[in-house]
């Protein structure tokens, strides 16, 4: 075996994209994005067998400290065969040497490995699949596990919903809730327009609307622009924009109101249903009649990909999206697109490990994703490989003081 300090882009991409543990957070493009936006230094390391073939890689994002040392993070890494313990052990030893040479205090990694099968309340399923053995093996190699957090305390979500796309579309829809499918069906009544253009500025306008309502801080426009620029170099990004055409809607609604009124004049039955329908149509008419635009983007979902996997990443929407069911439609279109393109799964990229949490609106977010998610997944969590034990212990305090002084 041989350790490689800097794997070239073509070789790195070919290995990571084709590996069963491929993840966009381990892509070369993600490293370049983090270099441009976060000021992190990406290292693309690997290990080859005796024939010179890559058997492991890792994107290590380094942050420098005022102490002359740095610390590294391998998001959803390493890309390696986790069933091969000797491979993990040898790669670990190479990483220990690498940390010494690069003056890294530690390297954190949080592999794309499920921890255990869980039920809808995030409780372990007796007799279900688990990776307890791998967890214990990593500890035996000297890795420090940083805890089984339930919310968003780590670098990446430790829970998610993953939709298995290696089934018929009928089976996939069968796992979606009736209310989700009903809202998708109702969205077609608004003649929504779906496109895949990179409408970054429109997306930014919409996610600012979300952040104001849902109490979170959106990144700035440059963040999403650079994300798109870098990820598309590996065909790793796609927009799902949903637009309305207000003037067309007003014409259609006006016509529908006329028909319903005519039915009401003749009806002896269904009067209550017709009156409810009329009320809804008149409410919609009031919503759209004063919008003096031919087309308005009301929802924009950004997804990211490797060669065989798909994730939803960011979504922006406004009040019109809620009225027209554009949010559920955007996810439905993205999931169907991933299915049509032969991806292994569609990952909803994060949900709490406590479905009943009262923190912010996380329980509401979980309930929303649960309706069209499939497998509720718990990841194994974060491990730290430590080089400098004393600095590792005091680093959080030092960084806190340093950041306070900078402010």
Burial of 255 (0-12, 13-18, 19+ CB in 10 A): exposed
Residue 402: is its pLDDT beyond 70?
Answer: no
Mean of the pLDDT values across residues 360-368? 92
Beta strands in 65-197 (DSSP E): 70-74, 104-109, 114-117, 144-145, 159-164, 193-195
Give the chain's domains with CATH numbers.
Answer: 2-111+381-406 (3.40.630.30)
pLDDT tens digits for range 306-345: 999 999 999 999 999 999 999 999 999 999 999 999 999 9
The pLDDT value given to residue 361: 87
Residue 214: is its pLDDT beyond 70?
Answer: no
- Give the whole-angstrom CA distance, residue 202 versus residue 225: 11
The answer to whether the beta carbons of residues 343 and 308 sit under 8 Å apart is yes
Q: Going by C-beta distance under 8 Å and a sequence separation of 6 or more, which residues neighbour residue 131?
A: 113, 114, 115, 116, 380
Mean of the pLDDT values across residues 378-405? 87
The pLDDT value given to residue 405: 65
Mean of the pLDDT values across residues 255-280? 87
Angle between helices 362-372 and 326-340 (to 10 degrees): 50
Residue 360: is its pLDDT beyond 70?
Answer: yes
pLDDT tens digits for range 156-168: 999 999 999 999 9
The pLDDT value given to residue 264: 84
Residue 407: is its pLDDT beyond 80?
Answer: no
Nearest to 384 by CA among 393, 373, 376: 393
Query: In this structure, what are the phi and psi dihedrals at residue 126, rounded to the nearest 5 degrees?
Result: -55, 130
Tell me what the pLDDT averaged over the chain comes to.
94
Residue 307: how many other CB atoms lie within 10 Å? 17
pLDDT tens digits for range 2-34: 999 999 999 999 999 989 999 999 999 999 999
């Amino acid at each position: 075996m041989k350790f490689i300090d800097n794997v070239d882009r073509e070789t790195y991409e070919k290995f990571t994209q084709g590996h069963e543990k491929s993840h966009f957070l381990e892509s070369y493009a993600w490293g370049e994005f983090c270099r441009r936006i976060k000021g992190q230094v990406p290292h693309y390391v690997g290990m080859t067998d005796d024939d010179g073939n890559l058997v492991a890689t890792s994107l290590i994002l380094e942050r420098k400290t005022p102490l002359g040392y740095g610390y590294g993070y391998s998001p959803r890494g390493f890309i390696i065969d986790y069933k091969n313990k000797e491979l993990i052990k040898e790669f670990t030893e190479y990483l220990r040497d690498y940390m010494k040479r690069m003056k890294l205090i530690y390297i954190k990694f949080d592999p794309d490995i499920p921890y255990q099968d869980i039920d809808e309340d995030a409780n372990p399923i007796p007799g279900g699949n688990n990776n307890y053995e791998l967890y214990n093996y990593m500890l035996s190699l000297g890795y420090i596990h940083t805890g089984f957090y339930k919310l968003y305390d780590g670098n990446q979500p430790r829970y998610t919903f993953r939709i298995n796309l290696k089934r018929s579309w009928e089976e996939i829809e069968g796992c979606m809730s009736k209310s989700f499918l009903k809202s998708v069906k109702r969205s077609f009544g608004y003649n929504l327009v779906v496109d895949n253009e990179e409408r970054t500025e429109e997306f930014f306008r919409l996610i600012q609307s979300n952040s104001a309502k849902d109490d979170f801080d959106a990144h700035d426009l440059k963040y999403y622009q650079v994300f798109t620029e870098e990820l598309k170099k590996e065909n790793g990004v796609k927009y799902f924009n949903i637009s309305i055409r207000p003037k067309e809607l007003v014409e259609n609604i006006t016509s529908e109101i006329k028909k319903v009124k005519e039915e009401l004049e003749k009806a002896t039955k269904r009067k209550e249903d017709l009156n409810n329908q009329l009320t809804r149509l008149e409410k919609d008419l009031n919503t759209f009649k004063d919008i003096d635009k031919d087309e308005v983007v009301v929802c924009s979902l950004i997804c990211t990909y490797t060669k065989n996997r798909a994730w939803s990443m960011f979504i922006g929407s406004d009040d019109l999206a809620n009225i027209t069911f554009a949010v559920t439609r955007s996810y439905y279109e993205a999931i169907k697109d991933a299915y049509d393109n032969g991806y292994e799964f569609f990952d909803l990229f994060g949900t709490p490990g406590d479905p009943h949490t009262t923190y912010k609106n996380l329980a509401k977010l979980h309930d929303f994703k649960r309706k069209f998610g499939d497998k509720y997944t718990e990841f194994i969590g974060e491990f730290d490989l430590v080089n400098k034990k004393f600095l590792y212990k005091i680093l959080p305090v030092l960084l806190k003081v340093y950041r306070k002084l900078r402010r």
